[in-house]
Structure 1
Amino acid sequence: MRHRVPAVIANVSQDQRIPWLAYEPTFVQSLVMVPIRTLNPIGAIGTYWAAQQEPAPQDVKVLQALADTTAVAIEKVQVYSELEHRVEQRTIQLQITNQKLA
């Protein structure tokens, strides 16, 4: 994720990026991780396989599309939250102004 590109790992026990001891007791043999937001990643979405395999490029594209959609949804929630906060602040300002006018 530091490089902002998908990580495709066909064999988790042979890849230096993987903390093998964490995966050894699990079923995971292969994985793909893609960043949520490529410019400034805020997380990742992954797929795991119980068998060693090289995923198809289309699988990686679909997973990245899901991550991109997730990024858009998160950003929309953040924008909505910011707008809601601004409306609350303006409402308070209007109430104070109305009290002064009264």
Structure 2
Amino acid sequence: MLNGAETAEEVRVILKTSARAAVHAQGATVVELDGDQCHYADEDAVSPLWKGERFPVASCISGWAMLHGETVVIPDIWLDERVPQDAYRPTFVRSLLMVPTMVGDGYPVGAVGAYWSYPHRASDREVAELEALAEGAGRALQRILALPEHATKGMVASRG
């Protein structure tokens, strides 16, 4: 489905719904890197999360995933110091899986997150599913936005 996307907005919509369904989560977010901010561009969740909000890259888990280029599995958000507790306290989220979206030679442009309302350690299958979706989103964005092979950080959020 991501291969057929013609706009960045289509990528967001496909990514949020596919991510939530693929891992049977109660919520999913699509995060875009915009300079030194993580922009929670879209979401599909049982109750509102952070759509439209921005957080400093250095102080949120999506930023951590992007900066380190690593998938993050957190079985209990209350036990992980990388999670900004104040941002999560009013939500249903108890556990999460966050995967960076990369383009070119591995430059982060965003992330996709999946959330559960109970303590849950994402399985190898769930990690693989979300990583495949993030990889597909990166390829689609590179094609749609005609990004050069050596893309620079923060380009995607400022386009389409």
State the TM bucket, normalised to the shorter chain.
Answer: 0.7 to 0.9
Gaps of 5+ in 2: 1-64, 148-160
Structure with more contact order per residue of length (Cα contacts < 8 Å, sep ≥ 6): 2
- Residues 1:73 and 2:146 are matched in the alignment: no
- Find the counterpart in structure 2 of residue 30 from structure 1: 95
- Find the counterpart in structure 2 of residue 94 from structure 1: none
**Letter paired with 1:58:** R
Q: Indicate the RMSD between aligned Cα atoms, in angstroms.
A: 1.4
- Find the counterpart in structure 1 of residue 151 from structure 2: none
> Which of the two has higher C-alpha Rg?
1
- Find the counterpart in structure 2 of residue 52 from structure 1: 119
TM-score by length of 2: 0.48
Greater share of residues in strand: 2
How far 1:60 sits from its partner (Å)? 0.6
Task: Point out 4+ residue stretches in structure 1 off by more than 3 angstroms.
Answer: none
Greater share of residues in helix: 1
The number of equivalent residue pairs is 80
CA distance in structure 1 between the aligned counterparts of 2:79 and 2:85, rounded to whole angstroms: 8
Secondary structure at 2:70's aligned position in 1? coil
TM-score by length of 1: 0.74
56-65 vs 30-39, which moves further: 30-39
Gaps of 5+ in 1: 81-102
